[in-house]
């Protein structure tokens, strides 16, 4: 199964506070899905531990310092979008716990806004597939929040 394309491995976190979930909106700098909401996180740098990557990405995208609580899911997505190379995304999703910081967001990054949303509010948001998966994990009691 050899095909020209790219593989991207990334780490994302699910953070909940006061029955609200933190999501980030994709900016116009992102070629695909600008304006849609996603999970905080992103690409793992070469040689970087995935848990370190999700902590780093949280600080970059949200201004919040978190720690990894547990691994929740690893999913794989193969996308073919017109005008883009074939992309294989391997996404590691962790439950994370808030440590410190005030919510802020990138001005020149892949996301342009981060905000807390209730489960009901999320139902009205345009989500990427990764965020839909994260919402299902967080609100379906498929894991223990201990």
Q: Domains of the chain: which residue ranges?
A: 6-139
Superfamily of domain 6-139 in the CATH hierarchy? Nucleoside Triphosphate Pyrophosphohydrolase (3.90.79.10)
pLDDT of residue 141: 59
Q: Is the pTM of this model over 0.85?
A: yes
Q: What is the pLDDT of residues 101-122, one digit of tens each?
A: 999 988 778 889 999 999 999 9
Give residue 1's pLDDT band: very low, low, confident or very high (50, 70, 90): very low
Q: Which of 143, 120, 146, 32 is nearest to 83 (CA)?
A: 32
């Amino acid at each position: 199964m050899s095909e020209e394309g790219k593989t991207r491995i990334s780490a994302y976190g699910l953070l909940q506070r006061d029955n609200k979930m933190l999501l980030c909106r994709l900016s116009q700098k992102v070629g695909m899905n600008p304006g849609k909401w996603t999970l905080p996180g992103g690409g793992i740098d070469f040689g970087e531990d995935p848990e370190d990557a999700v902590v780093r990405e949280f600080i970059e995208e949200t201004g919040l310092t978190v720690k990894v609580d547990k691994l929740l899911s690893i999913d794989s997505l193969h996308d073919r979008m017109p005008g883009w190379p074939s992309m294989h995304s391997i996404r590691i999703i962790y439950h994370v716990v808030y440590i410190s910081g005030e919510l802020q967001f990138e001005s020149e990054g892949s996301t342009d806004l981060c905000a807390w949303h209730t489960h009901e509010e999320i139902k009205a948001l345009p989500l990427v597939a990764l965020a839909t998966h994260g919402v299902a994990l967080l609100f379906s009691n498929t894991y223990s929040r201990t």
